[in-house]
Structure 1
Amino acid sequence: MENKSNSPIHSNRASRSIGRLIMELRRLERQPRSFGQAGMLTPSEIHTVEAIGCGDGVLMSELAARLGVTKGAVTQLVARLEAKELAARSPHPHDSRATVISLTDSGKEAYQAHEEAHDRFYERLRAKLSEREIEIFERGIDQLIESLKEK
């Protein structure tokens, strides 16, 4: 008996599904969304807010590493967040060469709104999938990410 997961038909269907997923993610990445009082934010802006977090702040170099982008790109993203009064730069207390980025109160509201959006997404998944299916889904996503990194 032939293993269905190795058949060309199954492989093509999986490949098309992954392609559709990537196209949908690209579409979503282009659309600004509302995040509470912070208003409309692009995906790169809200992901920067998320990477800064609600802690005591993060060094510019650490933020670049978290986002996987250059320091120059982070500088531009932080400037956009500052213009929207969501983030602020301050000198590092012990290293005059370093800059600390932290969220303003409005930035923290945007962070919380983003967390709530993630919670709503998982609530919708839980309504459609069992806990076991969610575990398999999450493991599959992790494996997909690893496979994409190998290219």
Structure 2
Amino acid sequence: MNDKMSIARELIEKFYRLMNKFNDLEKRPCDFDVGETMYPSEIHTIEAIGKNSGINVTELAKALYITKGAASQMIAKLKKRGFVNKVRSMDNDKEVLLILTDKGKKAFDGHERFHNAMYVDLADYLSNIKKEQIDWVKTAFNKAEFYIDQYRA
């Protein structure tokens, strides 16, 4: 039992270290082929709009797990920089919908290429891994997500 506790502690410490490195990456700007750097929160907002063209601010906030106020601030910033446009809904004059500009689409495409390069590398690595091992990793990720959701509640 004590051995299992030390293994659990080691795994959690490795997970925390991974999360800390990920959080550090979330603070670093990157250029996604538009000639200017963008923070991950900015490009992920563009990604959410690009995948859901015509999304409104409330839906965007839910998709990104942020407040409507934070989403509105991000949209204002991205609009000022020329990545996003706001348009009125044809169905509801009060509703504002979000779409990407050509510059926003270029950033979206650059971000997709960035992720696809990661996916190719990971897929190559996974081609040598047994399905049971991959299933175990998925289960471990699900368990980690469950614990994080418990702490968020």
Q: Counterparts in 2 of 1:105-144, with a 5 A limit?
A: 105-129=102-126, 130=129, 132=131, 133-144=133-144
**What TM-score comes out, normalization by structure 2 length?**
0.85
The letter of the residue matching 1:48 is T
Given candidates 22, 25, 30, the residue that maps to 1:28 is 25
Of 126-135 and 138-147, deviating more is 126-135
What's the Cα RMSD here? Answer: 2.0
Change (3 A) 1:53 1:136: farther
Of 42-51 and 54-63, deviating more is 54-63
Shift of 1:75: 0.9
The letter of the residue matching 1:147 is Y
**What TM-score comes out, normalization by structure 1 length?**
0.86
Of 69-78 and 137-146, deviating more is 137-146
The letter of the residue matching 1:104 is T
The number of residue pairs the alignment matches comes to 148
Unpaired runs of 5+ residues, structure 1, are: none
Structure 2 CA distance for aligned equivalents of residues 96 and 15 of structure 1: 50
Structure 2 CA distance for aligned equivalents of residues 131 and 45 of structure 1: 37
Given candidates 85, 110, 120, the residue that maps to 2:82 is 85
The letter of the residue matching 2:149 is K
Structure 1 CA distance for aligned equivalents of residues 5 and 46 of structure 2: 43
Residues 42-63 of structure 1: CA deviation (Å, up to 9, x unaligned): 0110110111125542111111
Shift of 1:134: 4.3
Shift of 1:138: 3.8
Unpaired runs of 5+ residues, structure 2, are: none
Structure 1 SS opposite 2:43: helix
The letter of the residue matching 1:86 is F
